[in-house]
A and B are shown apart, each in its own frame.
Chain A
Amino acid sequence: MAPPASSETAAYVALGRVGKTYASPRGPVAALVDINLDIRPQEFVSVVGPSGCGKSTLLKLVAGLEGTTSGTIDIGGKPLDGTPDRLGVVFQRDVLLDWRTILDNVLLSIEFTRKPTADERARAAALLNRFGLGGFEHRFPWELSGGMRQRASICRALLADPDLLLMDEPFGALDAMTRDDLNIELAQIWQDTRKTLLFITHSIAEAVFLSDRVVMMSKAPGMVVDVITIDLPRPRLLAVRDTPEFAAYVHRIRHHFAELGIVKE
């Protein structure tokens, strides 16, 4: 297992005073203000905040899908130029292509630039198997449940073995039980692969369960109001959610949000 990330390690993702302003008919609208955030290599960082707080915008900026209005983003020690290399992204909707089998959908991230090798095909099949989708490789997305589809889309993001994984409320559209399953599976796969991971969610419990650190964001315009280090032992099983430590973290974050008037207590 990789050594735990220490605070001295150079950040893999470094945001310095990042701001994002959109033009609108009623003048400029600030979506993000002065975001400072360092994500260390192999660290799992979640961003929680009320809807519309700009947390998805934050992910889009790190993914290079949108440009910043101010501030700097460095990835792997270099200023971000275009989209980062070796990046995997998972969205809230699985965006699988209906005309491709599950296996071909997983291979798509490679197929965009070149023909996948036999080795990569085998890897894709192994990943699907790892996520409980063995036997579904040649099925089509519409033959699968929402949870299975989202698993496939995570496999797609993992296939190219990215250094950085961005997830934008990946389990937001799933039912509670499927969501629990996927939380455990994601925790396990992260434990095994130790990707640097930026995870956007509106669920405090999900953020605490999965993360090394939880970034709390304010209502729009989005600002970082606090960063909480989650010091729960790993590997984490679902039972950790019944511990008083877990409850204390969740309470602390929710209380903090309430104090700021962001949520009602």
Chain B
Amino acid sequence: MMRFAWRLFLGDNETRDVVVVLAAALVLWEIGVYVFQPSPLILPAPSAIFAAFLETPGLFLRHLGFTLWMTCLGFVLAVVIGVALAVGIVYSKFLERTIYTLLVALNSIPKVALAPLFVIWMGTGPEPKVAIALMLAIFPIVIDMVLGLRSVDPDMLALAKVSKASSWAVLIKIRFPCALPSLFAGMKVAISFALVGAIVGEFVAGSRGIGFQILVAQGQFDTVRVFVSLLLLGVVGTILFFLVDYAERLSLPWHVSQRGRHQSSADRA
């Protein structure tokens, strides 16, 4: 676990770059606030934000944990349902005409606007948060997965046909592995969308989560606490993204985008 965390954050240059750039941005921010002295109501200094976090770290982390839980539930459900839908869409002309058409049409309305509807349907508990996270995350997954499942070399499919392969064998041995790079591309977009969905759900109704914390702090004009929440979201969002990225590296050592990744980091070192 330690080794994993180490590799994730400091083990290779790419992630070290991220940490260094973010740290530099915080330092610039601190200097800017020191020099220009804006009202703390508008822009508090990073040091003040850290101090506010350290006053009640348990409170923030508890709410963050809830948001994280909603995000991950929504994301995992989106992956499971999205992949199943994509397979259905690719294998069935009927599903392609109905579900896929419907999905593409739905995708063009701002889904965040549907959040209040979910509260009417599901109440103010965790369910609408998960549902909104799921709803936002599932689109990139279905669309990328459908693309991936279809991007199989026609000659490969011909080879499967003359080898008398069943459609199941074609799905498992060719289409699915072939679609994995696209699936991961979709998952990287989806994980951020799921976090957005969870926050929006908390904005609309409920009494838990970082989104709720932001609303409360806004009501009190407590800008510092808004910023604590925002920074925590930034950190969590980044970690979630890199977790998906790390999973991709583990699953796709063969893919063009991954080849020689170690090599190039070593070259730069």
Contact = CB atoms under 8 A, between A and B. Distances in A.
Interface of A: 60, 63-65, 83-84, 87-89, 91, 93, 95, 97-99, 108-113, 140, 142, 160
B269 interface: no
Contact of B173 (A60, A95, A111): A111
A97 B162 contact: no
Given A93-B155, A97-B177, A113-B169, A140 B254 contact: yes
Contacts of A84: 162
B159 A98 contact: no
A100 to B, nearest CB: 8
A98 B254 contact: yes
A214 to B, nearest CB: 24
Contact of B161 (A65, A91, A97, A110): A65
Contacts of B235: none
A120 to B, nearest CB: 14
Given A93-B153, A95-B156, 16 more contacts: A60-B158, A65-B158, A65-B161, A65-B162, A83-B162, A89-B158, A89-B159, A95-B153, A99-B252, A108-B159, A108-B173, A112-B160, A112-B166, A113-B165, A113-B169, A140-B254
Question: 7 closest Cβ contacts across the A-B interface?
Answer: A112-B165, A112-B163, A99-B254, A91-B155, A95-B156, A95-B155, A109-B163
B255 A98 contact: yes
A110 B161 CA distance: 12
B169 A112 contact: yes
B97 interface: no
B62 interface: no
B244 interface: no
A20 B25 CA distance: 67
A142 B159 CA distance: 20
B174 interface: yes
Contact of B156 (A97, A99, A140): A97
A99 B162 contact: no
Interface string B239-261: 00000000000001011100100
B121 to A, nearest CB: 42
Contacts of A89: 158-159, 162
A88 B158 CA distance: 11
Contacts of B178: 97
A91 B159 contact: yes
Contacts of A108: 159, 163, 173
A127 to B, nearest CB: 16
B93 interface: no
Contacts of B159: 89, 91, 95, 108-109
A83 B161 contact: yes
B15 to A, nearest CB: 25
Contacts of B255: 98
A160 B163 CA distance: 9
A113 B164 CA distance: 7
22 contacts: A60-B158, A63-B158, A65-B158, A65-B161, A65-B162, A88-B162, A89-B158, A91-B155, A91-B159, A93-B155, A95-B153, A97-B174, A98-B254, A99-B177, A110-B163, A111-B173, A112-B160, A112-B165, A112-B166, A112-B169, A112-B170, A113-B165
Contact of B158 (A91, A99, A142): A91
A89 B154 CA distance: 13
Contacts of A160: 163
A37 B173 CA distance: 36
B120 to A, nearest CB: 46
Contacts of B163: 108-110, 112-113, 160
Contacts of B162: 63-65, 83-84, 87-89
B153 to A, nearest CB: 5
Chain A CB within 10 A, most for which of B153, B162, B177: B162
A27 B50 CA distance: 73
A84 B164 CA distance: 9
A95 B156 CA distance: 6
Contacts of B169: 111-113
A59 B165 CA distance: 19
Contacts of A109: 159, 163
Nearest to A66: B158
Nearest to A111: B173
Contacts of A112: 160, 163-166, 169-170, 173
A91 B161 CA distance: 14
A142 B173 CA distance: 18
A88 B162 CA distance: 8
Chain B CB within 10 A, most for which of A89, A98, A99, A112: A112
A140 B169 CA distance: 21
A89 B163 CA distance: 9
A73 to B, nearest CB: 14
Contacts of B170: 112
